[in-house]
Amino acid sequence: MSLIYGEKQDGVSQAVRIDDAGRLEVALGKLAGEMPNFNRIFTAEVWDYGSGNLDYNAVSTTPQQLRTGPGVLGQVQVLTADTGVTLTFYDNASGQASGTVLGIVDCATAGTSVRFGRPFSNGLVAVFSGGTDPKTAVVAVGRL
């Protein structure tokens, strides 16, 4: 028997429950995005794919500054393949192919998709290397 009662929003009173160990059982209101079956809050990452995709035809092997300042290198997907081509990502704020390597993607197969989830502190630079002319690799890069 419970000695404490509470009133619910609909005006009905209800006894406060206590578990076998004597702890008060509390039921919180449902939160937006709550997944009670998994005991967690649903979260979703929304990556910015910028104004366009990296196109090897346009940039050749010139380093491309994709972002200045801190962020996260997210999902990278090869849209158009080019055999022998790799794309390397660096943590660098000055647009140079130097600094910490965040990831490398082989561009030989269209549809290749890699989720890096690698944070960078200075900036994000992408550099294509390898391949032969004409160069055809196109890659979508997600970043936070």
CB contact burial 54-88 (16+ within 10 A = b; e otherwise): bbbeeeeeebbebbeeebbbbbbbbeebbeebbbb
The mean predicted confidence, pLDDT, of the chain is 82
* Confidence grade of residue 134 (pLDDT, cut at 50, 70, 90): confident
Q: What is the pLDDT of residues 62-105, one digit of tens each?
A: 898 988 999 999 999 999 999 999 999 999 999 899 999 999 99
Asked whether residue 27 carries a pLDDT value surpassing 80, the answer given is no
Q: Provide the pLDDT for residue 51.
A: 63
Parallel, antiparallel, or unpaired for β 54-55 and 138-143? antiparallel
Q: What is the pLDDT of residues 28-38, one digit of tens each?
A: 566 666 666 77
58, 134 in Cβ contact below 8 A? Answer: no
Asked whether residue 124 carries a pLDDT value surpassing 90, the answer given is yes
The helix (run of H) or strand (run of E) holding residue 28 is: none
Average pLDDT over residues 96-120: 94
Asked whether residue 11 carries a pLDDT value surpassing 80, the answer given is no
Q: Provide the pLDDT for residue 101.
A: 96
144, 45 in Cβ contact below 8 A? Answer: yes
Asked whether residue 5 carries a pLDDT value surpassing 70, the answer given is no
Q: Provide the pLDDT for residue 91.
A: 96
42, 35 in Cβ contact below 8 A? Answer: yes
Q: What is the pTM of this model?
A: 0.68
